[in-house]
Amino acid sequence: MPLILTPLANIPLIKPGDDLAAIILSALQKTSLTLEDGDILVLAQKIVSKSEGRLVNLATVTPSARALELAACVEKDPRVVELILRESNEILRYRPGSIIVEHRLGFVCASAGIDHSNVAGEGDAQEEWVLLLPEDPDRSADRIRQGLEAASGARLGVLIIDSHGRAWRLGVVGVAIGISGLPGLVDLRGQPDLMGYKLRITLIGVADELAAAASLVMGQAAEGTPVVHVRGFPYPLRQGSLRELLRPKEGDMFR
């Protein structure tokens, strides 16, 4: 079965409190798509964060002494640095223009995933607002999946994705940060290859592979297509979580 990714049109600008499951169902209807068992909906992190009210007005943020010190080193707004510190377990690296952290959710990323692009709040200048990652992306994905399954009667998966850089390559790619109803990893150890040899170390990050594919369809700038419908995912659906994809610290050679 081919893997088919279809961006959903007619997704409005999302506001705090919006019901994403209902919005997706409406967009599916306008796209003439009916949900079937095995389908997956991939959502950009930004619309999930906006629906959950994760907008922060920088005018309300008072930088700590640590934030002021770090902001001077990295040449960033001390208020943004304060939010980065609040959203992080640990600062791993920094230099002018960049802060690499272990996010409180456990993964390594730049600036704790805090976003300044395409973000605006009611009644204030656009540049005063930033967007934090969802509080618990797995829980967010699970809630959206349950709403879609209840309405459609189909067994589905939901993936929430963000754009991350990589330690060993240039360029950002889509990665999974919230998973519900599909695997994060597929373990092929013990299975034979074409020559009959048993695989010994092959773990496939299938959620990240799908995230990267969906990110291509969504785009990274002003495309306005934050939801992608996926049909033909080549692995059985099961409950998964972000934790599957996180490398233990003792095995992380890039720290």
pLDDT per residue as tens, the chain (255 positions): 799 999 998 899 999 999 999 999 999 999 889 999 999 999 999 999 999 999 999 999 999 999 999 999 999 999 999 999 999 999 999 999 999 999 999 999 999 999 876 565 555 555 689 999 999 999 999 999 999 999 999 999 999 999 999 888 999 999 999 999 999 998 766 677 666 666 666 688 999 999 999 999 998 654 579 999 999 999 999 999 999 999 988 888 877
Q: 112, 131, 150 — which closes off a domain?
A: 131
Residue 61, CA distances (Å) to 77, 123, 137 in order: 11, 17, 24
Domain that holds residue 80: 55-131
Instruction: Please report, for the domain that includes residue 8, its CATH number.
Output: 3.30.1330.100
Task: Answer yes or no: do 234 and 221 share one domain.
Answer: yes
In a domain, 26, yes or no: yes
In a domain, 153, yes or no: yes
Task: Answer yes or no: do 239 and 185 share one domain.
Answer: yes
Do residues 47 and 23 touch, judged by C-beta distance below 8 A? no
DSSP letters of 49-103? HHHTT-EEEGGG----HHHHHHHHHHT--HHHHHHHHHTEEEEEEEETTEEEEEE
Task: Answer yes or no: do 144 and 240 share one domain.
Answer: yes
Task: Answer yes or no: do 194 and 215 share one domain.
Answer: yes
Contacts of 249 (CB under 8 A, 6+ apart): 255
Beta-bridge partner residues of 98: 95
In a domain, 252, yes or no: no
Q: 110, 131, 152 — which closes off a domain?
A: 131
In a domain, 141, yes or no: yes
Six token digits for residue 102: 């272990």
pLDDT value for 252: 84
Q: 131, 163, 184 — which closes off a domain?
A: 131
Task: Answer yes or no: do 73 and 44 share one domain.
Answer: no
Task: Answer yes or no: do 161 and 212 share one domain.
Answer: yes
Cα–Cα nearest to 164, from 108, 207, 117: 108
**What would you report as the CA-atom Rg of the chain, rounded to the nearest whole angstrom?**
19
pLDDT value for 186: 85
Task: Answer yes or no: do 71 and 165 share one domain.
Answer: no
pLDDT value for 52: 97
The tally of domains found in the chain comes to: 2
Q: In what order do the strands lie in the sheet with 173-180?
A: 4-7, 227-231, 40-44, 157-164, 173-180
